[in-house]
Amino acid sequence: MQIRTLLVGSALAALLAGCATGPTDQAATEMEATTVTYQGTLPCRNCEGIDLNVTLNGEEQGAAAERTFDLGASYRAHPQNPPDENYAGNWEVLQGTEQDPSATVYELVPDGEGQTYYFLRVDPQTLELIDPNLRRFQNSEMLQLKRL
């Protein structure tokens, strides 16, 4: 009886010792800030398209100050040859659209001057540009960015 109690006690002590160690490599990786990049080409009236590159840094549940973005836009074969546009700022998570109250929308607010962008998270691999009233455009498939 004492041997069984001793074995159970030893096993319990080993189990508790394992719980007392620091985070595993996997847990440490999950705690690091994430960076996700989406790319796509949007339609353009006067050119062959607008190449859009959006990089989101931080986590949806993270602190607002840690959620930053970089957005770059390049015009293809535009007659006026405008310079590339680059914006940086913070992004917020909004909940719901007119069509889907459970939808997730990312609001990208640039530092200084610049347009605020709204992207509907269609799925983990796809963002779609939507209007400031959180409505999808008719040609929504043409306004999607894919995760790299």
**Which of 66, 67, 129, 71 minimizes the C-alpha distance to 97?**
129
Structure confidence by residue, pLDDT tens digits, 61-72: 999 999 999 999
Q: Which residue has the higher pLDDT, 56 or 18?
A: 56
Residue 1: Cβ within 10 Å count:
5
At 24, the pLDDT band (50, 70, 90 cuts) reads: very low
pLDDT reported for residue 63? 93
Structure confidence by residue, pLDDT tens digits, 28-61: 444 455 999 999 999 999 999 999 999 999 999 9
Can you spell out the DSSP letters for 98-127? SS-TT-EEEEEEESSSS--EEEEEEETTEE
Q: What's the CA gap between 107 and 139, in Å, rounded? A: 20
The rounded radius of gyration (Å) of the Cα atoms in the chain is 23
Alpha helix ranges (H) inside 50-95: none
For residue 30, with 0-12 CB atoms within 10 Å meaning exposed, 13-18 middle and 19 or more buried, which class applies?
Answer: exposed
Complete domains list, the chain, with CATH: 35-147 (2.40.128.640)
Structure confidence by residue, pLDDT tens digits, 75-129: 999 999 999 999 999 999 999 998 999 999 999 999 998 899 999 999 999 999 9
